[in-house]
Amino acid sequence: MKENPQATAGATGRSQGARKSREIFDATLDLLADQGYDGLTVEGVALRAGVNKTTLYRHWPTKGALVRAALIGAGRLELDVPDTGSLRGDLEALVRQVVSLLTAPPASDVVVAALGAATRAPELADAAADFFADRLVREQAVFDRAAARGELPADVDPALVMDLLAGAVWLRVVLRRRPLEPDYPARAVAAVLHGTAPNAG
């Protein structure tokens, strides 16, 4: 509608889009941790990243896509698979990883917010599913080693084991909101490995 506003800016002379992406992702995750997924606004990200809102929409059509890209793009979710020499040790280490992922700020804020939001943002749900699928693939090594050591029957379902262990932590920390005793990982692993009820029918 305007004829000739005032001959604005133009490009800033950036060297790469990569740097901008980094700043965008950082801003996204920071705000996600601060405000939660719903408090996260595209305008806020744009402001904090020093980028125009339009630019964000040009690359990521929805908030979910942006968050997903940020979660992936910033390698904050990369976890090592432990190798302690025993199944029990490996599993306890894995559980402790989960615990720290869900409780040690600042990463925990991001992770909890993102996983919580996965219940309603399909994009994030996909991201979460991918994340867990990928994790499972790598956790498989733990079970392979255990089987090689003869610690585990061949027909054990690693997915079930990890569901039980990681799910317990999520439920305890996020849903039940109860403090986690230091021996919780050991007890959980013990229960899953050896059972709790020697005599149950």
Partner DNA sequence: CCTTAACCGAGACGGTACGTCACGTCTTAGT
Partner DNA sequence: ACTAAGACGTGACGTACCGTCTCGGTTAAGG
Q: Cα 163–166–169 angle (5° rounding)?
A: 135
What number of CA atoms fall less than 13 Å from residue 171's CA on the CB side?
8
* Strand, helix or coil for residue 129: helix
Site string for DNA, 2-31 (x = CB under 7 A): xxxx-xxxxxxxx--x--x-----------
The reply on whether position 41 binds DNA by CB under 7 A is yes
- CB contact at 8 A, 45 and 28: yes
| Chosen from a second copy, DNA, none, partner binding at 163 (C-beta under 5 to 8 Å by type) | a second copy
| Chosen from DNA, a second copy, none, partner binding at 54 (C-beta under 5 to 8 Å by type) | DNA
- Take residue 39 and report the two structure tokens written for it: 């408090």
What number of CA atoms fall less than 13 Å from residue 79's CA on the CB side?
24
| Chosen from DNA, a second copy, none, partner binding at 9 (C-beta under 5 to 8 Å by type) | DNA
Residue 20 or 88: the one with the smaller Cβ distance to DNA is 20
What's the length of the chain?
201
| Chosen from a second copy, DNA, none, partner binding at 19 (C-beta under 5 to 8 Å by type) | none
Interface with DNA (CB under 7 A) = 1-5, 7-14, 17, 20, 41-44, 50-55, 57-59, 61-63
